[in-house]
A = this chain, B = another copy of it.
């Protein structure tokens, strides 16, 4: 499971071990590791999660927090000797929706830049479409946007993994 200098997409459920798996890919690459956190510390629960992630990764990672301008940060950071972990796309999507951005446009922008980086990028996201249809309209919209985003990113990525119970299943590449 060597990391290619092209986009890798890691999809999995909540607490599936998808971030750890993605971190392992980057650490094994020998490239300079950058952690791009898209989550905002809205509440204590989220702050605790971000802290746990930092603790697990240790000191050799550079951490950047960016809720919205994922494309801009990737263009600046994903250079020759670096590998960037984007954790995660569903939080980025949440932020875009909260900020009333146009999701199709943002998805298209991301997908367009993915193949252009000199460095490696690993994008992590939550699969959210395998439960009962949510009663809440916004939740239905969210899972529709997430599903379309995942299809677009998977199509643009060189490698795609589905992670369950900490175990990766290669879907592409």
| A contacts, CB < 8 Å to B | 9, 11, 13-17, 45, 127-136, 139-140, 142-144, 146-148, 150-151, 153-155, 160, 162, 164-167, 169, 171-172
Contacts and interface: CB of A to CB of B under 8 A. Distances in A.
23 contacts: A9-B165, A13-B127, A13-B130, A14-B129, A15-B143, A15-B144, A15-B148, A15-B150, A15-B151, A16-B151, A127-B164, A128-B130, A128-B133, A129-B130, A129-B131, A131-B131, A131-B134, A132-B142, A151-B165, A162-B165, A167-B171, A167-B172, A169-B169
Interface of A, secondary structure class, is mixed
B164 A171 contact: yes
Given A13-B127, A131-B128, A154 B147 contact: no
Return the 6 tightest CB-CB contacts between A and B, nearest first: A131-B131, A15-B147, A13-B129, A14-B129, A130-B130, A154-B165
Number of copies: 3
B147 A155 contact: no
A134 B132 CA distance: 7
A158 to B, nearest CB: 13
A169 B171 contact: yes
A16 B130 CA distance: 9
Contacts of A154: 165-167
A31 B169 CA distance: 31
Contacts of A13: 127, 129-130, 147
Name the residue in A11, A165, A169 with the highest tally of chain B Cβ atoms < 10 Å from its Cβ. A165
